[in-house]
Amino acid sequence: MLVGAVTVLVGFLSRCSDRKADPADPRGSAFAEAASCARCHKSIYDAYATTAHAHSSAVASAGTVKGRFSAPDNIFHFAGRADVVMEQQGEELFQVLKSDGKEQGRFPFDVVFGSGRKAQTFLYWKGGQYFQLPVSWFVPADNWANSPGFPADHPKFDRLIPSTCFGCHSSMVKVREETKGITVTEQFARREMIGGIDCQRCHGPAAEHVAFHTENPAEKAARFITRIDTLNRVQRLDMCALCHSGLKPMYKPAFAFKPGDALSDFVIPTVPFRKKPDQLDVHGNQLQLLAASQCFLQSQTMNCSTCHNPHVTERTSMQTFSQRCMTCHQPGSPQFCKHTGKPKGVLQQNCIDCHMPALPSGAITLLTNGEQSPTPDSVRTHLIDVYADVVKKLP
C-alpha cells in the first residue's frame, strides 16, 4: 500500500517537472503551451500554420495588417468632409482622423480580425475597452473600405467590441469584469491575447495529454485527449458550429467549449433558432445551410469533415472538393449529376460552382474608397442544391 502511494507521488512529481519543460500557457495549467504540439505532430502542426484559422486574429503590426500605408493609397474619403488616413509611425500603425486636412485624432491599430482571406477589420484599445476602427481592408477590392455596417458619411470610432468576437476569432483574451452600478463592463488588458485559433481551441486543453506522452513515448494510442472518432454526428458538428452557426447569445464563453460538449448547453435558445435558408447569411452560418441540404438530410453521416480537412488549406482546389462529392455521387451511378448540358468529364471537374455557388452576402457589404454603392462580400453557400440561374450564366 505504501509502495503504491510512493509510486503515485513520484509519477505526479515527474509529471509536474516535465510540465515545467514547456513554458506555462496563459490559459492555465490544463493547457499545454501552444507550440508543444509540434514535438509529436509536426506535419499537422506545420500544415496548420498556413490555414485561415491559424491567422484569424493577431496583435496588429506591419506584418499582420494587410493594407497599404503610403500615399495615395492610404486615404479613405467619407461622403462628408472627413478623411481617415492610414499612417505608419515607427512600429505603430494608426487611423488618423482629418477634417478639412486638419488632424482631429489618431487611433492605433491594436488587434487585427481576419486572416486576410477576404477582409480584415481592426480594433483600437482605450480605457480598458476595444473599439472597431471605421476603415477595414477589403481583399476582393484590394482596397480600404468602410467597416461593415458603419455609416458612409462620417467615420465612427465608438463601436464597442465585446469578448464574444474574440471567442470565435482567437484562442484567448484576458477579460476582467468590472461592475459599475448594475451594469457589467468588460475590461481588457491592451493587446493581451493569443491570436489565431490554435489546436486546443478545437481539441480542448491538452496539458495531461502532452505530459503523458512525453513520459510514455512508447505509447502509440492517444491518451488524455478526446478521440474525435468516438464522437457522434451532432458532437462532431457542434465542434465547428460553435463558431460556424452565426452570432448568438451564449450562457458560457465559447472559450470553455471542449470537443464532446453539447452546443445547446452554451447557446441561449432564440426564436426561431433555425431560420429559413433564404434568411440566413454570414457571419458564418454554414451549419444551418448545410443542415437544410438533401445531402445532409438523407445521408445521415455528412458532417463538416466529410469535405473539410481542418488541418490544411484547400480552398482553391475545386477538384479536391468534387472528389469528395463523388464518394456519394459516383460517376456512372444513378446518384451522379443529372445535368446534360456538359460532358461527364467536365461535370466531374467542378461540382462546386454549380451546386454550391459563391453568392453575395446581404449582411456583409463594404463601401470601398470612391464608390457610391457598397460591394457585397461573396460567400460560398452551404445549401447544396440545383441553381439553374447560376448555371445558365456560366460560360
Q: Which is nearer to ligand HEC, 85 or 239 (CB)?
A: 239
CB 145 to ligand HEC: min, Å: 11
Q: Which is nearer to ligand HEC, 11 or 80 (CB)?
A: 11
Q: Which is nearer to ligand HEC, 94 or 244 (CB)?
A: 244
Three-state DSSP class for 174?
strand
CB 346 to ligand HEC: min, Å: 7
CB 88 to ligand HEC: min, Å: 21
Q: Which of 105, 88, 89 is nearest to 97 (CA)?
A: 105
CB 315 to ligand HEC: min, Å: 3
Give 50's DSSP letter.
Answer: T
By the 10 Å C-beta count (0-12 exposed, 13-18 middle, 19+ buried), 341 is classed as exposed
Q: Which is nearer to ligand HEC, 74 or 214 (CB)?
A: 214
Residue 176: how many other CB atoms lie within 10 Å: 10
By the 10 Å C-beta count (0-12 exposed, 13-18 middle, 19+ buried), 324 is classed as middle
Residue 49: how many other CB atoms lie within 10 Å: 12
Maximum CA extent, the chain: 83
Q: Which residues pair with 86 in a beta bridge?
A: 95
Residue in the block written with cell 460556424: 244
Q: Is it true that the peptide bond before 140 is cis, omega within 30 degrees of 0?
A: no
Copy the grid coordinates of residue 23: 513554458
Q: Which is nearer to ligand HEC, 104 or 294 (CB)?
A: 294
Q: Which is nearer to ligand HEC, 69 or 336 (CB)?
A: 336
CB 1 to ligand HEC: min, Å: 32
CB 211 to ligand HEC: min, Å: 9
CB 102 to ligand HEC: min, Å: 29
Compute the distance between CA of residue 59 and CA of residue 170 in angstroms, rounded to an integer: 11
Q: Which is nearer to ligand HEC, 41 or 81 (CB)?
A: 41
CB 340 to ligand HEC: min, Å: 6
Q: Which is nearer to ligand HEC, 84 or 259 (CB)?
A: 259
> What are the DSSP calls for 104-160, one per residue?
EEEEE--EEES-SSSEEEEEEEETTEEEE-SEEEEGGGTEEEEPTT--SSS----EE
